[in-house]
Amino acid sequence: MGVIKPITAVFREALRSPATLEYPENREAVTDNYRGVHKLDMKTCISCAACARICPNQTIEMVDTETNMGTKKMPQINLERCLFCALCEEVCPTECLVLTKDYDFERFDRREYIKRPEDLK
């Protein structure tokens, strides 16, 4: 009698559908307040550096970026250090820096977590 209970539990679990998703074909739905990878509108960025000053982890660094209007200082973000607190989004006067719903974070090289302004589209 003591053997039947564990065997039935094994069969019940074996017949159950898998709990994981086949990523990236199937993606998990995110909540409305989810904060993912940053997006930068380079056309409306005024290089004020408010995002870099407010960041609690010093994740954002202002770097020289070539634009069609010359060289401008724009935010470069290290996603490895980011808390996704959205303070940078809140303080941005032109609302050019926003956090998206994208949660694609797998990388093979740590340097890929540093996103230059051109990469934040």
Does the residue 1 lie in any domain? no
Does the residue 92 lie in any domain? yes
Whether the Cβ atoms of residue 65 and residue 72 lie closer than 8 Å to each other? yes
117/62 Cα distance (integer angstroms): 9
Residue 22 has pLDDT above 70, yes or no: yes
Does the residue 38 lie in any domain? yes
Residue 1 has pLDDT above 70, yes or no: no
For residue 60, what are the contacts with CB-CB under 8 A and spacing of at least 6?
Answer: 51, 52, 75, 76, 77, 78, 88
* Closest CA relative to residue 78, chosen from 117, 121, 28: 117
pTM over 0.85: no
Least confident of 19-33, 63-77, 96-110: 19-33
Q: Residue 91's domain is classified under what CATH number?
A: 3.30.70.3270
Does the residue 34 lie in any domain? yes
49: domain range? 26-119
Per DSSP, what are the bridge partners of residue 65? 72
Which amino acid, 12? R
* Closest CA relative to residue 76, chosen from 93, 88, 59: 59
Does the residue 33 lie in any domain? yes
User: What is the number of structural domains in the chain?
Assistant: 1
